[in-house]
């Protein structure tokens, strides 16, 4: 019997597997354009369990498994016994007796770990407080598509440096060795516990001036200032992060060939302007489409 593989963070795959996943994503993307179909996951069932809202994660995983010959079942907390207090480990044991894999979107990473431990099938982190690794697969693949390689790139992250997306970019910088400059106020800088994971030699720098972070960058990325579950802090976040908007003037500091990423949903006019989202430098909707192709490659790797 083979042991199940989870994908709770990027480092759950080897560097070689990640490179293979990007290569496979490119094939699956080209095949979809050519209307070539696949049955690599025929008969497989994917359970998608959501404790927070989702558009892209839900739709891309549902479409991905369907397009590979399998089937998805999505369970939102409000409709399930989770909202009435059923323990997450009981839920995991039952769900893994029906499905061949589970995508789980939740709050704390303790819930994710508990579900993964109690599940007998692969568990995929569909976003938690600690990271959003499936989004990074799409983001990194988009950088490769647009710029050719990750090696030697300068990536700038502006705004909330303590968000799940920022944490996953830090993890990606460690694995792929690119330079990451985070421009964040001290109130929302990455905590020492996260920065200490990058190790000596990793090129991750935190600065408080967003212009310093963006200067000469090849990739500029940001995320909402108020993540799901932080709504009560919204006014304070808006106040502290107000100077970190990714607008045309800030983007002008980057390399002329720089691309812009945002995982979406965006609050246009808050962390990023509509002008930047819709600009020729924006790869944001390509990035969103790539969620489909990279999720397919991930499902094949874990479930086939
Ligand atoms: N980027 C992302 O995960 O989007 P959703 O919240 O819509 O799934
Ligand atoms: N940081 C955001 C990402 C949404 C995809 C959140 O957690 O709400």
Which residue has its alpha carbon closest to ligand 2 atom 7?
227
How many Cα atoms are found within 13 Å in the side-chain-facing hemisphere of 12? 21
Structural tokens at position 102: 């589970």
Q: Which residues pair with 71 in a beta bridge?
A: 45
Structural tokens at position 196: 């200490």
Smallest Cα–Cα separation from 198: which of 153, 166, 221?
Answer: 166
Smallest Cα–Cα separation from 176: which of 193, 198, 191?
Answer: 198
Is 135 annotated as a binding-site member? yes
What is the DSSP code string of 151-205?
TT-EEEEES-TTSHHHHHHHHHHHHH--EEEEE--GGGSPPHHHHTTS-TT--EE
Per residue in 179-215, pLDDT (tens digit) is: 999 999 999 999 999 999 888 777 999 999 999 999 9
Return the ligand 2 atom nearest residue 135 CA. Answer: 5
Structural tokens at position 33: 């354009």
Which residue has its alpha carbon closest to ligand 2 atom 6?
227
Backbone angles phi, psi at 158, to 5 degrees: -125, 145
Nearest ligand to the CA of 57 is 1
pTM above 0.95, yes or no: yes
Contact 147, 218 (CB under 8 A): yes
Per residue in 61-116, pLDDT (tens digit) is: 999 999 999 999 999 988 899 999 999 999 999 999 999 999 999 999 999 999 99
Per residue in 121-168, pLDDT (tens digit) is: 999 999 999 999 999 999 999 999 999 999 999 999 999 999 999 999
What is the predicted ipTM? 0.99
Return the ligand 2 atom nearest residue 54 CA. Answer: 5
Which residue has its alpha carbon closest to ligand 2 atom 2?
227
Contact 284, 142 (CB under 8 A): no
């Amino acid at each position: 019997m083979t042991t199940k593989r989870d994908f709770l963070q990027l480092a759950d795959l080897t560097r070689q597997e990640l490179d293979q996943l990007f290569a496979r994503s490119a094939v699956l993307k080209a095949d979809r354009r050519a209307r070539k179909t696949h049955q690599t996951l025929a008969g497989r069932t994917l359970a998608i369990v959501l404790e927070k809202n989702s558009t892209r994660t839900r739709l891309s995983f549902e479409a991905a498994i369907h397009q590979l010959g399998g089937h998805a079942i999505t369970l939102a907390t409000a409709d399930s016994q989770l909202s009435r207090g059923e323990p997450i480990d009981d839920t995991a044991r039952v769900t893994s007796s029906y499905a061949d894999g589970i995508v789980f979107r939740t709050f704390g990473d303790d819930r994710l770990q508990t579900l993964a431990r109690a599940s007998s099938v692969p568990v995929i982190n569909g976003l938690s407080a600690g990271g959003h690794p499936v989004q990074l697969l799409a983001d990194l693949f988009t950088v490769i598509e647009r710029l050719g390689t990750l090696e030697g790139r300068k990536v700038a992250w502006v705004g909330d440096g303590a968000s799940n997306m920022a944490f996953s970019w830090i993890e990606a910088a460690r694995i792929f060795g690119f330079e990451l400059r985070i421009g964040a106020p001290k109130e929302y800088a990455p905590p020492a516990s996260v920065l200490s994971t990058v190790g000596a030699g990793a090129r991750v720098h935190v600065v408080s001036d967003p212009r310093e972070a963006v200067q000469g960058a090849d990739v500029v990325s940001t995320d909402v200032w108020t993540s799901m579950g932080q709504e009560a802090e919204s006014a304070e976040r808006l106040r502290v992060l107000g100077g970190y908007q990714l607008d045309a003037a800030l983007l002008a500091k980057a390399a002329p060939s720089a691309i812009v990423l945002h995982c979406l949903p965006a609050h246009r006019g808050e962390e990023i302007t509509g002008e930047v989202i819709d600009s020729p430098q924006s790869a944001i909707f390509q990035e969103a489409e790539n969620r489909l192709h990279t999720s397919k490659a991930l499902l094949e790797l874990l479930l086939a």
